Chain A
């Protein structure tokens, strides 16, 4: 009988082998060692952008439901008295907005310059002349900001282009929040002015720095 045989084997101490016990101890040790690097290292929660098998697109990050309103950051909200439509779209009752819906000071322009250099210079260039690095590598060249048509556009147009995209240019709404988009729009005006400045309008100290400029010299364009 099987059971008796087994008992008999244990009864013979002289020929007892430790191999079985040794293997068991090693197996437990191995389990303990491999167990070290799991639970606390990979806790059962999602890290940002971790894949998930729950959803069809395989991503744990879910897109916002249409119409979601951010609740947390008051800096992202429209200033008091400004309608949402103006602040978030650049349109007001079917017409493009003519001015930035909050006061523009030096800080806003500097913010605009910084953001412009991150998101727009690759194509539009530092000067907004449409000769950025990506254009030099073969991207469809955009028009220079200082062109006649673009200078005539109300400032809401620039905001609208960033928000919804324009022709071959994609939308930047997901990367540039509305306030920064307004700051960039204001900075585009600075770039346009820089290409059409008149020496006569400069403060005296700056004018003196220009080599050989006198009041009579022909302006580069009409204001």
Chain B
């Protein structure tokens, strides 16, 4: 009986078997990498803004507190973006003829708000609240990175569920005294942080077990 398959078919079949085992795994790995890549999460991606607003200048250089502009961050779920009026408290006199600030002046004159491009935007099925995090002692840096060093604002953390949970499982790694919340330079004191964190969990009555319940964030 003549051979139906050429000997090279052996190699081919081995390759096929190997491919069947490794292929799906590779596909999983590739899609996982894709999901975590800036392409999906937007981390450190620069977005076009109507005015090239620089936190580096205003916060790092001039030392303006976050709350001067993001007024509602301590009391509401939403940090708030400054209305044109807030920019004009200073720019009515400073750089008042700069073409860079033309959209700000037009906005004030025409009573049309400036349309900033949002950088952080959770899906609508997730509930997030700034006030609770600020009141319990989570610093802006823990979630937004060194904003005072950003010449144009970007997203420092991926804001995935995994990322939220990392902290909700171990808040002691990130908790600080409330007066340090707005301090951009604060870093956890290395050996003592866990101890301080555990003390703060107790003092602020944080129920860590409850923080990973689905209904905390999906309500």
Chain A residues near B (Cβ < 8 Å): 40-43, 45, 47-49, 51, 57-59, 117-119, 122, 133-134, 137-140, 168-170, 174-175
Contact = CB atoms under 8 A, between A and B. Distances in A.
Contacts of A137: 62, 94
B125 interface: yes
Nearest to B77: A48
Given A42-B124, A122-B68, A168 B92 contact: yes
Contacts of A118: 65, 67-68
Helix, strand, loop or mixed for chain A's interface? loop
B112 interface: yes
Nearest to A45: B124
Contacts of B143: none
4 closest cross-chain pairs (CB), A and B: A43-B124, A48-B78, A41-B123, A118-B65
B90 interface: yes
B85 interface: yes
Contact of B113 (A43, A57, A175): A57
A170 B92 contact: yes
B11 interface: no
Contacts of B123: 40-41
Interface in B78-92: 78, 80-81, 83, 85-86, 88-90, 92
B115 A122 contact: no
Contacts of A168: 92-93
Contact residue range for chain B?
20 to 34
A57 B108 CA distance: 12
A206 B219 CA distance: 55
Helix, strand, loop or mixed for chain B's interface? loop
Contacts of B71: 175
A117 B78 CA distance: 22
Contacts of B19: none
B217 to A, nearest CB: 14
A43 B123 CA distance: 9
A175 B94 CA distance: 21
Given A58-B112, A170-B88, A175-B86, 9 more contacts: A40-B123, A57-B112, A59-B113, A117-B65, A118-B65, A118-B68, A137-B62, A137-B94, A174-B85
